[in-house]
Amino acid sequence: MAALDPRTLKLIESSQTAVIDAWVASLAQASQDGRTSQRELDVQVREFWRLFLGAMHAADAGNLQGREWDEIRHFLEDLSRERVLKGFSSSETATFIFSLKRPLFDVIQQANADSPVELARQLWAVSELLDQLGLHTVKAYQKTREEVIQRQQEEMLELSTPVVKLWDGVLALPMIGTLDSQRTQVVMESLLQRIVETGSEIAIIDITGVPTVDTLVAQHLLKTVTAIRLMGADAIISGVRPQIAQTIVHLGLDLQGIVTKANLADALALALKRTGLTVSKAG
Residue length of the chain: 283
Average pLDDT over residues 137-142: 94
pLDDT for residue 96: 93
Domain limits of the chain? 6-157, 164-274
- Candidates 242, 245, 243; CA nearest to 253 is 245
CATH entry 3.30.750.24 includes domain 164-274 = yes
Distance CA 142, CA 91 (A): 11
Determine the residue type at 90.
S
What burial class does residue 281 get, using C-beta atoms within 10 Å of its C-beta: 0-12 exposed, 13-18 middle, 19+ buried?
exposed
Determine the residue type at 95.
T
Distance CA 126, CA 263 (A): 69
Same fold, 6-157 and 164-274: no
Q: Tell me the pLDDT tens digit for each residue of 187-200.
A: 788 888 899 999 99
- Contacts of residues 181-188 at CB distance under 8 Å and 24 or more positions apart, as own/partner, are 181/220, 182/157, 183/157, 183/220, 184/220, 184/223, 184/224, 186/154, 186/157, 186/158, 186/161, 187/161, 187/224, 188/223, 188/224, 188/227
Distance CA 76, CA 98 (A): 13
Q: Does residue 63 carry a pLDDT above 70? A: no
Q: Does residue 100 carry a pLDDT above 90? A: yes
Q: State the pTM of this model.
A: 0.60
pLDDT for residue 2: 54
CA 151, distance to chain mean position in Å, is: 5
For strands 164-167 and 170-176, give the pairing. antiparallel
What stretches of the chain adopt beta strand conformation (E)? 164-167, 170-176, 202-209, 234-238, 259-261
Query: 6-157: what CATH class?
Result: mainly alpha
Q: Where are the alpha helices (DSSP H) in 99-115?
A: 101-111
Q: Does residue 108 carry a pLDDT above 80? A: yes
Using alpha carbons, list the distances in angstroms from residue 166 to 194, 202, 203, 256, 259. 12, 10, 10, 26, 18
